[in-house]
Chain A
Amino acid sequence: MFYNLNDSKNGIIKSISIDLNKLDKDVREHLEETLKGKVKITDNKFIIKTEITLEQLRQLNDGYNEFHSKFIDENIIVPIKQNLKSTKEQNKTEEV
Chain B
Amino acid sequence: MVFELCDSENGLITSVSVEMSKLDNQLKEYLENNSKVKDKRVIINTDKITLDNLKELNDEYDIYMSTREISNKTIENNEDENIQKKLDENIGQLKDNKVLNRKIIPSDNINDKQEIKDKSKIKDKTINVENNILKLLKERPMSAVEVATLLNMQPLEISDKLNKLRKQGLLLYKIIESERYFSLIEQERN
Q: Do A and B come from one complex?
A: yes
Q: Are A6 and B5 in contact (CB under 8 A)?
A: no
Chain B residue with the shortest CB-CB distance to A43: B10
Q: Do B7 and A8 touch across chains, with their CB atoms under 8 A apart?
A: yes
A9 neighbours in B (Cβ, 8 Å): 7
B6 touches A7 (CB 8 A): no
The answer to whether A5 has its CB under 8 Å from any CB of chain B is: yes
Q: Indicate whether A23 reaches chain B with its CB closer than 8 angstroms.
A: no
Provide the bound-state CA to CA distance between A80 and B61, in Å.
Answer: 47
Specify which chain B residues have a CB less than 8 angstroms from the CB of A63 in the assembled complex.
Answer: none
B5 partner residues in chain A, CB cutoff 8 A: 5, 8, 11, 13, 54
Q: Which B residues touch A11, using CB under 8 A?
A: 4-6, 17
Q: How far is the CA of A37 from the CA of B89 in the complex (A)?
A: 59
Question: How far is it, in angstroms, between the C-alpha of A4 and the C-alpha of B13 when the chains are bound?
Answer: 12
User: Interface readout for A38-54 with B: 1 if CB under 8 Å, 0 if not?
Assistant: 00000000000000001
Give chain B residues whose Cβ lies under 8 Å from the Cβ of A54.
4-5, 51
Chain B interface extent, by class: 10 to 19
A17 CA / B51 CA spacing, docked (Å): 14
Q: How far is the CA of A43 from the CA of B161 in the complex (A)?
A: 35
| Bitwise interface map of A from 1 to 43 toward B, beta carbon under 8 Å scored 1, else 0 | 1001111111101000100000000000000000000000000
CA distance A21 to B79 in the complex (A): 58
Contacts of B17 in A (CB 8 A): 10-11
Contacts of A4 in B (CB 8 A): 11
Tell me whether chain A's interface is mostly helix, strand or loop, or mixed: strand
| Total A-B contacts with CB atoms under 8 angstroms apart | 32
In whole angstroms, how far apart are the Cα atoms of A17 and B10 in the complex?
9
Contact A10 B4 (CB under 8 A): no
CB–CB A7/B4 < 8 A: no
Interface residue from B7, B9, B11, B51 paired with A10 (Cβ < 8 Å): B7
A50→B65 CA distance, assembly (Å): 34
Once the chains bind, are A6 and B8 in contact (CB under 8 Å)? yes
CA distance A11 to B11 in the complex (A): 13
For the complex, what is the distance from the CA of A9 to the CA of B38, rounded to whole Å? 14
The residue of chain B having its C-beta at the shortest distance from the C-beta of A58 within the complex is: B51
Q: Enumerate A48-93 residues with CB–CB distance to B below 8 Å.
A: 54
- Contact (Cβ within 8 A) B6 A17: no
A61 to chain B, nearest CB (A): 11
Q: How far is the CB of B14 from chain A (nearest CB, A)?
A: 9
Chain B interface (Cβ < 8 Å from any Cβ of A): 4-11, 13, 17, 51
Chain A residues engaging chain B, CB cutoff 8 angstroms: 1, 4-11, 13, 17, 54
A5-B8, A8-B6, A11-B6 are known; give 11 further A-B pairs, CB within 8 A. A5-B11, A7-B8, A7-B9, A7-B10, A8-B5, A8-B8, A8-B13, A10-B6, A11-B17, A13-B5, A54-B51
